Amino acid sequence: MNFVKIISLSIGIVLISSLPGMAQTGQTRIQGVPTDDEAQSVGPGGQSTLIDLREEMRMFVQSISSFARAYRPNFIVLANGGLDLLVKRDPVEETKISPARAYMRSLDGVLQEGMFFDVKRGDRPFGTPPVEDRQKPMLAMTEFAKSNGLKVFTLDFGKGKAVVDTVRDQAVKKGFISLVSDMPSTDIYRLPAYPVRPFDENPSNILSLDMVKNFVVIRNSAPFGRQDAFAMKMHDTNYDMVAVEVFHGRRPLSRQAIETLKYKKIGARRLVLAYMDIASAASYHYYWRPHWREGSPMWISAPLKDDPDRYNIEYWQPEWKQIITGDTNSYTYGLIAQGFDGVIIDGLETYRFFEGGDEEEENQ
């Protein structure tokens, strides 16, 4: 039986989410896979099937993009990471690749974290350039993305003017738009100390992604105080694009707050994008049911290492997709109704968890 949960967001918008009480019979949770790209699952009737984890992720993003643009043709879709999804690898000859054109057409741009200076990774401290074996593929794939018409943004990590200036110099040479944070991306709760005003500050109305010359990210807006205080603090800046979390503390940002965010201090229009994780479920989000836990429903997998209240999700399962996109009860539609100009899709590399390669990736 499906349960319908109506969440009043106390902002003049109501999200209605259809939430299943349990997974369908015959579905199994998996922690590893037979090959790099495929997972084994059991379908209805006990029939074994193979799942192409990366293609399932591409198709999920494509469905979100298609759905959103049916309601708002100019709705922006940015991919946060997941650069490997831009190409398809031959299952026999891994060195033989081809562009994932349908996937790239569903995107407007990519955001890559740690391109020039990374978070703490293995024994390498926060604010250290990534090792060559990690950076070289990122540079190659972002160049590939740019050559295919996608806008490239980088979010790097470090402290001080020297780091910021170094990142900017390298990003400008490659045609990327850069931002440097002095804390991990999911913790960002303040504006950059330097520069006090954004690079390439301009009076233009920003109506599309290709017009953006600078941006800022705030993943935790609660320390700014009330929603109106946060919105006015951001309004007092001239960034071309603002990327935020949907929720301010426990409550979603109101339409009024989002409308305030859409204007620079100078009065010109700018873009406001929301982060949306499509492959993990948070126990503190509106869609979570009290009896949910790891393994129940079956598509809820192990918790994230750095956030035990958030769980990896078998993102290819229909029940989860229904929560995220596909109708007017979905998370994606809620973002459109709230007034966001677009979305930054998180969780794209969750396929690595189901491939069993997440630990290796973290330590590089």
Q: Give the model's pLDDT for residue 39.
A: 58
What does the pLDDT read at residue 111?
98
Q: What pLDDT sits at residue 360?
A: 43
Q: Between residues 45 and 253, which one has the greater pLDDT?
A: 253
Residue 363: C-alpha distances to residues 118, 125, 136, 311 (Å): 12, 12, 16, 21
Average pLDDT score over residue span 40-69: 79
Helices H / strands E in the chain, number of each: 10, 19
pLDDT digits (tens, 9 = 90+) for 6-48: 233 333 333 333 333 333 323 333 333 344 455 555 444 334 3
Q: What is the pLDDT of residue 90?
A: 83
Q: Per-residue pLDDT averaged across 75-95, rounded? A: 91
CA distance 316 to 55: 10
Pairing mode, if any, of strands 177-181 and 215-218?
A: unpaired
DSSP 148-190: TT-EEEEEEE--SHHHHHHHHHHHHHHT-EEEEESS-GGG--S
When pLDDT is averaged across residues 122-143 and rounded to a whole number, the result is 96
Nearest to 345 by CA among 105, 77, 141: 77
SS3 content of the chain, % helix, strand, coil (to 5): 30, 25, 40
| pLDDT of res. 32 | 34
Q: Report pLDDT digits (tens) over 208-234.
A: 999 999 999 999 999 999 999 999 999
270, 262 contact by CB (below 8 A): yes
What is the spatial distance between Cα 99 and Cα 103, in angstroms, rounded to a whole number?
9
pLDDT of residue 89: 87
Average pLDDT, the chain: 87
The yes-or-no verdict on residue 189 having pLDDT over 80 is yes
Q: How far is CA 243 from CA 12, 123, 159, in A?
A: 22, 30, 21
* Predicted local distance difference test score (pLDDT) of residue 359: 45
In the numeric block, which tokens belong to residue 160? 């001080």
Number of domains into which the chain is organized: 1
Per-residue pLDDT of 145-180, as tens digits, reads 999 999 999 999 999 999 999 999 999 999 999 999
Distance in angstroms (rounded) separating the CA atoms of residues 69 and 56 = 20
| Secondary structure (3-state) at 348 | helix
User: Do residues 24 and 44 lie in contact, with contact meaning Cβ atoms separated by under 8 Å?
Assistant: yes
Q: What is the mean pLDDT of residues 77-104?
A: 92
Q: What is the pLDDT of residue 105?
A: 98
pLDDT digits (tens, 9 = 90+) for 315-345: 999 999 999 999 999 999 999 999 999 999 9
Looking at residue 37, its pLDDT comes to 52
Domain extent at residue 288:
2-362
Give the containing element (helix H, strand E) for 364. Answer: none
For the chain, percent of residues with pLDDT exceeding 90: 77
